[in-house]
Amino acid sequence: MAAAAPLRHNRLENKDGERPPMRKFEVALYNEEVRRLVSAGERHRHLEDSWGDTHYIEVTAADEQDARAKVARRYPREAGYVVEQVVRATD
């Protein structure tokens, strides 16, 4: 019987238990609800009209999936946020 793989307590650890290097990602996102309201001549109760336009934020993460997860925690889909693009930032 083959030995079981060691448990990784942190999903970012590689098979040797080391963390991958962190990288910067640029994320483009907007708020779908604000965009809809602004186009109808209305305003969102809590967000500025500018959230109807694309915002660019920088995120430090291990990879694109990690960057998307971090953004989703801060800007959840359930609150109307839409991620348009995630690209690795150039140094």
C-alpha to C-alpha distance for 12 and 49, rounded to whole angstroms: 36
What's the Cα-to-Cα distance from 4 to each of 1, 8, 13, 18, 43, rounded to whole Å?
9, 12, 17, 19, 56
Question: What confidence category does residue 3 fall into, taking pLDDT thresholds of 50, 70 and 90?
Answer: low
pLDDT score of 9? 45
Q: Among the CATH numbers 3.40.1000, 3.10.20, 1.20.1630, 3.40.1350, which is that of 23-88? A: 3.10.20
DSSP three-state, residue 40 = coil
Q: State pLDDT tens for residues 9-19.
A: 455 555 667 77
Could you tell me what percent of the chain has a pLDDT over 70? 81
pLDDT score of 8? 47
Residue with tokens 């650890």: 13
Q: What are the residue boundaries of the structural domains of the chain, listed by start?
A: 23-88
pLDDT score of 45? 95
Tell me, yes or no, if the pTM score tops 0.85: no
